[in-house]
Amino acid sequence: MTIPQQPGPTPVTSPGGSQPASGPRDVLGAAAQPPGVGAFDEHHPPAAELVADCVHCGFCLPTCPTYLLWGEEMDSPRGRIYLMKQGLEGEPLSDSMVTHFDRCLGCMSCVTACPSGVQYDRLIEATRQQVERRHSRGPRDRALRAAIFALFPYRRRLRLLRGPLRAYQATGLPRLVRRNGLLRRLAPTLATVESLAPRLGRAARPPQRVAAVGTRRAVVGMLTGCVQGAFFPEVNAATARVLAAEGCDVVILPDRQGCCGALSVHNGREEEARRFARRMLDTFAAAGIDYFVVNAAGCGSTLKEYGDLLRDDPRYAALAADFAGKVRDLCEVLVELGPVATRHPLPVTVAYHDACHLAHAQGVRAQPRRLLRDIPGLELREIADPEICCGSAGIWNILHPGPAAELGDRKARTVLATGARLLVTANPGCLMQVAASVTRAGGDIALAHTAQVLDASIRGRGVEELLHQRTPS
C-alpha cells in the first residue's frame, strides 16, 4: 500500500481541489455566519492548547482511512487539526471545512498512532458540536440525518422494522436486488441500508435480571443498546448468560433503559446526547451495581465519557463521573474477574476484528484475544492492517456509502485472507459492515460476537451453532 507523504499542511481545498477555504461573505466582506470567534462560538470550541500539541510529524497519516482513500492532506488528522487552528484564528466555518470534518470517521486510529499524545478525539468531538450548531446543511443531508436520528436511537421504533424486514428476507428479493444493482444505482443510501441489514431470527424479550450461577462475585448492569437490542438480541442473551456463568447478577431493566447517546455524541448532537445520558443514569444510578457492562464498542466509549458529557450539569456531573468509572467492556470485566466457568473445546479458526471504539478509543485489544485463546481448540488468526477501520463508524457508512464500501472491501479482503472460518468482533456496526462487504466480495465466513463464542464454549454447544451464522444471502 503506497501512502502519499506530504511535508506539511497545504491550503484548504474542496474535495475537487478548487474551492477556497473561506465561506460566503456579505457585501461588506464579513463572513455570512452566526457571530462568534471565527469558525467556532464560545461554548466548548476545540481547545487551542490541544491543537498546539500537534507537531505536524505525520505519523498518524498512514493509519487514517480517509487519507488512505484520497491522499488529501485536509482529509488526514493533521490536516483537520490545521483546519481547527484556522477556525480558532478567525477563519469562518466554510462548506469546505465542514466537508473535511464530516469525512472523518471518528475511528480514533490517529489517537493511538500519535507519539505526541494529541487528543484528536476531544478535538473532533468539540468541532462536530460546533458544526451542528453553526453550519446549515443542505436539504438532502438534513433530511437524511433527521430520519436517522428519528429512528436509530429508539429501540422500540427499530423493533417495528423487524417484522417487515423478516418478511422481505424470507423472499428471494434480497438476492435479486443485490444481483441486478439497480437499487445501488438509483438510491445508493437505501441500497447500503438494505445490504447492511442482518439476517433476523426470532427475538425473545430480555429479562429484568439474571441471577449469578453459583457464588455471586459481582452485581453488574448491562446495556441492551438500540441496534444491538433490536437486531442482535441473541448477542445480548449470550452476554447475560456468560456474565451469570462467571458469577455476576445481571441487572438489565430492558423497559427502562434507552439509548446511551453514543450516536448523538459522535455526530455533534450534544443536547440530545445529554438527554439520553441523564435517562441512563436515572435508570441505573440506584441499581446497586459494581460494574456497568457494555457489549457494543461505540456505546462503551461514550458511556466511559459520561463525566465529560455532563460536566456542565450541576445535578448530574458527579453522578455521571462516578457511573463512568464503573463502565466496562464485557471482555474487560471478564478478565478483571478471572474465569470460573469451565470452557469446553471449540475447534475452529477465528479471525478477530478490532472494533475501532474498542481498540483505539478504549484500549481494549489484549482482553478479547486472551479470552478467545483460552478456549481449548480455538485457533486465533490476526487480520492484516488491524488499525484500519472497516468503514462502519456508526452512521458514517450510511452518510458516505461509496467510500464506506471501499473501506469495507479492503477489510473483507484482509479478513478472507486469514482463511479463518469464523470472524469475531464486538460491535454490531462492524458485524453488519464486514458481513455486507464479505458478501460483495463473494466470500463465505461465519460471524459472531465475542460473547457468543464464549457462551458457546461455556455451554458446550459445539462449533456448528456458531458456524451457522453466515453472511447475508
Binding site for ligand SF4 (CB under 6 A): 54-60, 63-66, 77-78, 80, 104-110, 113-114, 116, 118, 120
Shortest Å, Cβ 65 to ligand SF4: 5
* Distance set, CA 400 to CA 227, 231, 382 (Å): 19, 22, 28
Shortest Å, Cβ 296 to ligand SF4: 18
Shortest Å, Cβ 189 to ligand SF4: 20
Shortest Å, Cβ 9 to ligand SF4: 9
Do 220 and 248 contact (CB within 8 A), yes or no?
A: yes
The whole-angstrom separation of Cα 429 and Cα 453 is 18
Shortest Å, Cβ 407 to ligand SF4: 10
Using the minimum distance from each CB to ligand SF4, give the nearer residue, 362 or 439: 362
| Burial degree of 139 (CB within 10 A; 0-12, 13-18, 19+) | exposed
Using the minimum distance from each CB to ligand SF4, give the nearer residue, 59 or 154: 59
Using the minimum distance from each CB to ligand SF4, give the nearer residue, 60 or 420: 60
Shortest Å, Cβ 100 to ligand SF4: 9
Using the minimum distance from each CB to ligand SF4, give the nearer residue, 77 or 198: 77
Using the minimum distance from each CB to ligand SF4, give the nearer residue, 64 or 220: 64
Write out the three cell numbers for 184: 445501488
Shortest Å, Cβ 297 to ligand SF4: 14
Using the minimum distance from each CB to ligand SF4, give the nearer residue, 356 or 420: 356
Using the minimum distance from each CB to ligand SF4, give the nearer residue, 114 or 335: 114
